[in-house]
Amino acid sequence: MRTRPYTLKTKVMWTLIITLLALAQFPGVLFFHDVAEPRIFGMPFIYGYIIIIWALLCGVLLWAYLAHWGRPTPAGTTTDDTQKGVDR
């Protein structure tokens, strides 16, 4: 069970991940069945759309990884201290 409150960064990351995963399940694909237009990057719409969504998801997950998201902070430090590299 979580004892600390969620930070703004954690809320933003979760919101982006869930939103992008929901957008990846695009129901509009039913409207583009057997249609080659419109095109994104010279590919049929659905392929370009999915590539863009997955690129954004990879970017958010890379940001989360580089921010050490989900790792506990060492005892005696705050979240801000660990992001700045301050040791106590």
Task: Output the DSSP codes for 37-85.
Answer: -SEETTEEHHHHHHHHHHHHHHHHHHHHHHTTTTPPPPTT--HHHHHHT
Pairwise CA distance, residues 72 & 75, whole Å: 9
Tell me if 8 sits within 8 A of 16, measured CB to CB.
no
Give me the tens of pLDDT residue by residue for the chain, a chain 88 residues long. 567 777 888 889 999 999 999 988 877 666 766 666 777 788 877 788 889 999 999 999 999 898 887 776 666 555 555 555 544 4
Taking the whole predicted model, whether its pTM rises above 0.85 is answered as no
